[in-house]
Amino acid sequence: MREDTGSVKTKILIVEDENIVARDIQQRLRSLGYDVLSIASTGESAISQTEKNRPDLILMDIKLKSGMDGIETAEHIHNRLDIPVVYLTAYADNHTLERAKITEPFGYIIKPVEDTELKSAIELALYRHTTEVKLKLEQQRVKELTHKIITAQEEERLYLASEIHDDLLQGLVAVLYFLQMIDLSSLDQKTQNQKKELIKIIKSSIGRCRGLISEIEPLREPKMGLIQAIKKSIDQKFVNADIKVHLDYPEKIAKINLLTKTNILRIIQEALTNVQKHADATEVFIKITTSRGKLRLKVKDNGIGFNPKSIPLKTSPHYGLLTMRERAQLIGGELTLSSRPGKGTTIKGIFPLIFR
């Protein structure tokens, strides 16, 4: 990225095969206060000079007589380095412009060029590039933060579930055990009834603790597989709902590592919560398949659907879809959503299977 310190001149590479034009532009750029690193007359030499000298900006003639043209050269550079390119062109037909667009140029200058035009195109391109770099950095930070939050949330859940299991639940089981051992046969009926009542309360608390653990962290149990956990979530979510859930899964799924399993489960849980909250659906189909080291997931509902490009603004923020995508990326997978008003919603995911 260009250091905008004022004293550091912007370094420019000129790619132009007409020597007279190149020299003219070089002179103008210098008089405008820029540092012209060099002039390249072919795409190949432009690439090698870019890699070696890392200019802040490239002025690129679209038509180069030999070898690659300006667009191919820019594409090559664009795929490897983040350096803004401004095209120089005598004329450009629609086809050329379309091709040029793919390389995401930061501007076009039509030759012959005036000094003011040259300066404003360069300054605008540099400004846009700096803004884009900042935005990308910001997006990267948001992504990292989201991943941290997701991981921290899972760790917190695991901690809570372990505490409930190892402390509270074990304690209650011990109390129950000793209570059942106490022989009250010689005592009066009232005390015996109180013991029975106490046993009932403790058993119910044990049941509640187990329920809590499976809600917070269904996969904590070593023997709990992904499919079992999905079935549990379906039962918990749709216990009183008028939605028919179809679950289609392979007979055997190899043992997946906990991080992958947990995130796939959370993605399904959020998809199902969305169906319940927003879809007004009567049926939802969950399909899981595995092949060649990948797990494919499809969650499809027959509800009202929506336009993913214009999610209605409500007072509360929408984090579900965003978090689902981030969870997918966290485990090396990806997620796509398709939906249209009146046509239901489908979420598809593909995740690499990492075995335990």
Interface stretch with ligand ATP, choices 69-77, 229-237, 269-277, 286-294 (CB under 6 A): 269-277
Query: 106 vs 306, which CB is nearer to ligand ATP?
Result: 306
User: Is residue 326 close enough to count as binding ligand ATP by CB under 6 A?
Assistant: no
Is the backbone of residue 305 left (phi > 0), alpha (psi -120 to 50) or beta?
Answer: left
Task: In angstroms, give the least distance from the CB of 71 to Mg ion.
Answer: 43
Task: In angstroms, give the least distance from the CB of 280 to ligand ATP.
Answer: 8
User: Is residue 278 close enough to count as binding ligand ATP by CB under 6 A?
Assistant: yes
Size of the site for ligand ATP (CB under 6 A): 17
Q: Tokens at residue 65, please? A: 């007589």
d(CA 243, CA 278): 13
Give the interface with Mg ion as residue ranges (CB under 5 A): 274, 320
User: Is residue 41 close enough to count as binding ligand ATP by CB under 6 A?
Assistant: no
Peptide bond into 112 cis (omega under 30): yes
* Cα 124 to chain centroid, rounded: 31
Query: 112 vs 341, which CB is nearer to ligand ATP?
Result: 341
d(CA 209, CA 121): 66
Partner from Mg ion, ligand ATP, none binding residue 312, C-beta < 5-8 Å depending on class: ligand ATP
Complete DSSP assignment for 149-169: HHHHHHHHHHHHHHHIIIIII
Query: 87 vs 306, which CB is nearer to ligand ATP?
Result: 306
User: Is residue 306 close enough to count as binding ligand ATP by CB under 6 A?
Assistant: yes
Exposure string of 337-353, with b = 16+ CB inside 10 Å and e = fewer, is bebeeeebbbbebebeb
C-alpha torsion sign, points 174, 177, 178, 184: positive
Task: In angstroms, give the least distance from the CB of 214 to Mg ion.
Answer: 21
Query: 105 vs 344, which CB is nearer to ligand ATP?
Result: 344
d(CA 59, CA 55): 10
16, 154, 301, 326: residue in contact with ligand ATP (rule CB under 6 A): 301
Partner from ligand ATP, Mg ion, none binding residue 83, C-beta < 5-8 Å depending on class: none
User: Is residue 304 close enough to count as binding ligand ATP by CB under 6 A?
Assistant: yes
Task: In angstroms, give the least distance from the CB of 35 to ligand ATP.
Answer: 48
Task: In angstroms, give the least distance from the CB of 144 to ligand ATP.
Answer: 20
Query: 67 vs 320, which CB is nearer to Mg ion?
Result: 320
Partner from ligand ATP, Mg ion, none binding residue 67, C-beta < 5-8 Å depending on class: none
Instruction: Please report where in the chains the tokens 């409930």 appear, as a residue.
Output: 164
Q: Tokens at residue 75, please? A: 């594409």
239, 312, 315, 342: residue in contact with ligand ATP (rule CB under 6 A): 312
Partner from Mg ion, ligand ATP, none binding residue 301, C-beta < 5-8 Å depending on class: ligand ATP
In 102-196, DSSP assigns E strands to 107-110
Print the SS3 string covering 24-75: HHHHHHHHCCCEEEEEECCHHHHHHHHHHHCCCEEEEECCCCCCCCHHHHHH
* SS3 (DSSP) at 212: helix
User: Is residue 298 close enough to count as binding ligand ATP by CB under 6 A?
Assistant: no
User: Is residue 319 close enough to count as binding ligand ATP by CB under 6 A?
Assistant: yes
Partner from ligand ATP, Mg ion, none binding residue 311, C-beta < 5-8 Å depending on class: ligand ATP
The bridge status of strand 334-339 relative to strand 294-301 is unpaired
Query: 216 vs 337, which CB is nearer to ligand ATP?
Result: 337
The bridge status of strand 244-248 relative to strand 283-291 is parallel
Residues at the site binding ligand ATP, with contacts judged by CB under 6 A? 274-275, 277-279, 301, 303-306, 311-312, 318-321, 345
